[in-house]
Amino acid sequence: MASSPLVAAQPVTIDIKGTTREAFLVRATLAAGATYGALSATPYITRALAQDSGGDVDILNYALTLEYLENEFYALAVKQVKGLSGDVLKLAKELRDNEAEHVDALAATVKKLGGTPVKKPGFDFGGAFASRTAFLQTANVLEDAGVSAYNGAGPLIKSVDVLAAAGSIVQVEARHAALIRLVRSKPPAPLAFDKPASKAAILKKVTPFITS
């Protein structure tokens, strides 16, 4: 899975119903053209599609940054947190490996779309590894934030394939969040509707962990 871009893998399992967001956009723009004259529609199509690809690559790179952060977090936790054992240690390793697969898939997808994957930032998790409790608390914050980040970005994604990829990742982030919460004896699904969060809100939340 690590090297196979999700863009290629997902349409097999997702029922797309014969249209893409790009096609929809072009159709909507052409409809506008029919009203205002075909010539006036052309620049709208060009601009819309240009913004399209840039938008999805931006969103994927934003997601990639968050996955780098989560992957690094668990990779360090497994080595540094004292008293991690048994099922919790196994869970931390499983989550570390999942996040690594997300990193690989997102980087591959960015490349597939002709973009450049962002570099892995430098991280500092402060006192998050000082104890099992501190680790689980930070993990809870990061996983819930991950869910909100993907849910906030999802409706802005233009390509159905990219949306399918993001959807298949956020589902796993939500499962992670529930499991970490259960380990903490917290309700696994505290809200009936997971809240989407804006990119700005998420960046504010994770900036303290990013050093470069």
Partner 1 sequence: MTDSALRELADDPSSRKRFLKMMGGAGAVSAFGVLLAACGDDDDKDTASTPAAASTSAEDMKGDLHILNYALTLEYLEAEFYKQVIDSGIVKDPKVGSIAKQFGETEQAHVEALIATVKKLGGTPATKPKTKFQPTLDKGLMAVLETAADVENLGAAAYLGAAGGIKNRDVLAAALSIHSVEARHAAALNQLLGRGFGGKGGLSGTLPDGAFGKGMDEASVLKAVQPFLA
List the interface residues with partner 1, window 129-188 (CB under 8 A). 147-148, 150-156, 160, 163-164, 167-179, 182, 187-188
In the complex, what is the shortest distance from the CB of residue 79 to partner 1, in angstroms, rounded to a whole number?
Answer: 20
Neighbouring C-beta atoms of residue 170, cutoff 10 Å: 20
Closest listed residue to residue 175, CA positions, set 79, 83, 102: 102
* Number of residues lying near partner 1 (CB under 8 A): 83
Nearer Cβ to partner 1 (88/128): 88
Written as six digits, the tokens of 50 are 């240009």
Q: Map the footprint of partner 1 across residues 29-58, applying CB under 8 A.
A: 31, 47-48, 51, 55, 58
Which of 59, 60, 81, 136 binds partner 1 (CB under 8 A)? It is 59
In the complex, what is the shortest distance from the CB of residue 21 to partner 1, in angstroms, rounded to a whole number?
Answer: 8
Which of 28, 46, 80, 133 binds partner 1 (CB under 8 A)? It is 28
Answer whether 78's CB lies under 8 Å from 35's CB. no
Site for partner 1 contains 198 (CB under 8 A): yes
Answer whether 110's CB lies under 8 Å from 7's CB. no
In the complex, what is the shortest distance from the CB of residue 181 to partner 1, in angstroms, rounded to a whole number?
Answer: 8
Please choose, out of 35-43, 77-85, 134-142, 197-205, the segment that lies near partner 1 by the rule CB under 8 A.
197-205
Site for partner 1 contains 80 (CB under 8 A): no
Nearer Cβ to partner 1 (91/139): 91
86: alpha, beta or left? (left if phi > 0; alpha if psi -120 to 50): left
Closest listed residue to residue 186, CA positions, set 137, 128, 153, 151: 137
Whole-Å CA distances, 47 to 26, 41, 107: 11, 10, 25
Residue 123: phi and psi, rounded to 5, are -125, 150
Nearer Cβ to partner 1 (31/130): 31
Residues sharing a CB contact under 8 Å with residue 143, sequence separation 6 or more, in sequence order: 70, 173, 176, 177, 180
Site for partner 1 contains 109 (CB under 8 A): no
Nearer Cβ to partner 1 (76/89): 89
Q: At 210, is the secondary structure helix, strand, or coil? A: strand
CA–CA gap between residue 200 and residue 57 (Å, rounded): 17
Nearer Cβ to partner 1 (119/130): 119
